[in-house]
Amino acid sequence: MRNTVIDTITRQASLNKEIFIITGDAGFGVLDTFQERYPRRFLNLGVAEQNMIGCAAGLAMTGFKVVVYNIIPFLLYRCYEQVRNDICYQKLPVVLVGIGSGFTYAPQGITHYSVEDIVIARSLPNLIILSPADPLEAEKCAEFALNSRKPVYIRLAKSGETALHRRKPKRIDRPCVLKEGKGVAVLFHGSVGIEVMKATEDLQERPLVISLPMIQPLDFEMLRKSLKGVHTLITVEEHFAEGGLGSLVSECVVQERLRMSVKKLGIKNEFIHAVKNVSGMRRYYGINSDSIRRSIREGFRREK
Amino acid sequence: MKEDRLINLAKDVRRSIIEVACKSRSAHVGSALSCTDLLVALYFYQLKNLDVKNWKRRDIFILSKAHAAIALYAVLTKKGLITQGQFNRYFQNDGSLPAHLDRFDPQGRLRKGIEVSAGALGHGFNIAVGMSYGYKLRGDKRKVYCLIGDGESQEGSVWEGALFGAKLKVDNLTVLLDFNNLQGYGRPTQICHFMPIAAKWEAFGWQPYQVDGHDFREILDALQKPHRGKPKIIIAKTVKGKGVSFMENEMKWHYYMVTDELKEQALQKLCALIK
């Protein structure tokens, strides 16, 4: 997804002369083409994240369409106040491209994981949050972000994700239905989607499977419409279970007084000390295909 | 003489700061009085194209130490960019001017004259670095000015920006450092290893100039000084609360409010202040 997003931006940059990429010393092998083609519209602002975001804001104020690329903790956490005050408060259409969602970088340690970025980003008014599940959604997200007049945060894992869609979705600001079904609906965002797809393969029951690439603002009205005949929602995300999509959906369900139960599959809110690779982590925290399948079956059992 | 005109303008600006600070019972009066002369020099001498016709290519000023917003509002009021009515309702219920800077009005419309929303320290400076680089790339000849505080200079972001501003060779950027040697709870020169401040900026690749921040001749001179290939920093030695003797160099005037009684005393002190 990382390469798809950057390739899309690089392609657009030949037409849109305002596109500018700033990195905080990340992007080895990813930003090379852009940098070679558009050296004047590229800056590596080093390991200085506060300045990176402040400068991005300043450049945006002079008319550039600025894309900031970094590993998520160094894009949103280290410089949270800059993102809040300099980008979102000023309502600048800067695109924040974050890589390493969830525990993409496992077992590097939790300093490099981003398991609370959605809940942090959700606290920022004006900020649009996109979390694509596959390269097709990612391309659409990049196009959306480049045209957005508001700040956008794109949450990415790395590269090499399998396509879940057959073709590029027409819209990413709406729920993307991947599998039709009823009774139980699985809602997810991001690269953990592959686990959801695996979980629903060769399954006797037919749950509805929906990817939600746009988390903020969430088009709950559209989502509600597609949830006809659903009694159980299962949210799946490679993010803390409390504060992410699961929490957001729960709030909406309560607010709309829907008669649905919500099961949140996510990472337990704790500092992760386990040393495991991505699939090990997903198994450990119950967001791998087996755990998802179990929850789906449980959901269908409850119906009877 | 141009200096005399600026001295008189500064006196008016100080008077309106005291009056509005009294009306609003707001803090940071000392911080505002300390940078008044710098703002007057910028807005009534240095900044180009602030008229309606040339507004789109105006020079940019960013108040990074935005807790002195009342001083900027006072200057913008005198410039006609904020109405007296708006300024009179500064920091008041249902007014439109908060104690720190918001470039949007309460209806969400961009406000003329406030280039950047600011308040937390160590933000406006980095935006100024990015903006000046942006204008350079675009071949836009306008200049960017930014005022920072000495307490603010303890922010890591300031030194990040110092490193990259020099690297980006933003010689269209002039930063003014309001060195009144008083911050929220102490003196910068005592709280940290603040000095030698000019040598620090010079070592970071900036062109420093040092002035008396209340002497217009020195301020204007420094503003005209060349800085080819480098960003400029003017280290302006100032006095917190300048112009009102009982406020001068007193830490409490970072916080104290101007009561009606104190207002009268302060205005008398200002009247007595003749160069």
Q: Is A150 helix (H, G, I), strand (E, B) or coil?
A: coil
Q: Residue A37's domain is classified under what CATH number?
A: 3.40.50.970
Task: Give the pLDDT band (50/70/90) at residue A302.
Answer: confident
Within-domain flag for A166: no
Q: Are residues A239 and A146 in the same domain?
A: no
Q: Which domain holds residue B6?
A: 2-272
What CATH number is given to the structural domain containing A232?
3.40.50.920
Report the residue from B118, B130, B163 with minimal CB separation from A59.
B130
* pLDDT at residue A304 is higher than 70: no
B129 touches chain A (CB under 8 A): yes
What is the count of structural domains for chain A? 2
In this structure, what token pair is assigned to residue B262?
């104190």
CATH number assigned to the domain comprising residue B182: 3.40.50.970
Residues B172, B177: Cα–Cα separation, whole Å: 17
ipTM score of complex: 0.97
Residues A51 and A119 in one domain: yes
In a domain, residue A160? The reply is: no
Q: What's the pTM value of the predicted model, to 2 decimals?
A: 0.97
Q: Which residues from B are below 8 Å from A40, CB to CB?
A: 137
Helix (H/G/I), strand (E/B), else coil: A101? coil
pLDDT recorded at residue B273: 63
Of A61, A81, A85, which has the smallest distance from its Cβ to B131's Cβ?
A61
Best residue of A19, A50, A53 to probe chain B, by most B CBs closer than 10 Å: A50
Count of domains for chain B? 1
Q: Do A55 and A22 share a domain, yes or no?
A: yes
In chain B, what residues touch A58 (CB-CB under 8 Å)? 126-134
Does A164 fall in a domain? no
Q: Tell me what pLDDT residue B271 has.
A: 80
- Please give the residue of chain A at the shortest CA–CA distance from B57: A62
pLDDT for residue A39: 98
- In this structure, the answer to whether residues A14 and A81 fall within a common structural domain is yes
**Facing residue for B160 by CB, picked from A43, A48, A81:** A48
| Furthest CA-CA distance within chain A | 63
Q: Name the CA dihedral angle for A91, A173, A53, A103, rounded to a multiple of 10 degrees.
A: 150
Residue A225 and residue A144 share a domain: no
Q: How far apart are CA B176 and CA A43, in angstroms?
A: 26
Structural domain of A148:
2-155
Asked, for residue A149, whether it belongs to a domain, the answer is yes
Q: Is residue A16 located within the same domain as residue A141?
A: yes
Instruction: Give yes or no for a contact between A137 and A178, defined as CB atoms under 8 angstroms apart.
Output: no
Residues of chain B contacting residue A42, judged by C-beta atoms under 8 Å apart: none
Residues A76 and A124 placed together within one structural domain of the fold: yes
Q: Count the Cβ atoms, other than its own, within 10 Å of residue A73.
A: 20
CA distance B152 to A94: 26
The reply to whether A131 and A10 lie within a common domain is: yes
- Give every CB contact of residue A143 below 8 A, 6+ residues apart in sequence: A8, A12
Q: How many CB atoms lie within 10 A of CB A20?
A: 25
Average pLDDT over residues A116-137: 98
Same domain, A260 and A146: no
Q: Which residues of chain B have pLDDT under 50?
A: 274-275
Helix (H) or strand (E) holding B188: helix B188-191
**Paired tokens of B42:** 């910028």
Average pLDDT, chain A: 97
Q: Does A214 share its domain with A102?
A: no
Q: Are residues A34 and A85 in the same domain?
A: yes
**Coil, strand or helix at A179:** strand
Q: What is the pLDDT of residue B1?
A: 81
Helices B29-41 + B69-79 axis angle, to 10? 40
Give the H/E segment covering residue A216: strand A214-216
DSSP, collapsed to helix, strand or coil, labels residue A16 as coil
In a domain, A170, yes or no: no
| Residue A55 and residue A191 in one domain | no
Residue with tokens 């990040």: B160
Please write down the HEC assignment for all residues of B2-40: HHHHHHHHHHHHHHHHHHHHHHHCCCCHHHHHHHHHHHH
Rounded Cα distance between B38 and B41, Å, is 5
Q: How distant, in Å, are the alpha carbons of A10, A50, A87, B152, B159 from that of B156?
A: 32, 8, 19, 9, 5
| pLDDT, tens digit, 9 for 90 and up, residues A196-253 | 999 999 899 999 999 999 999 999 999 999 999 999 999 999 999 999 999 999 999 9
Termini Cα distance of chain A: 40
Task: Say if A161 falls within a structural domain.
Answer: no
Q: At what angle do helices B216-224 and B2-24 cross, to 10 degrees?
A: 110
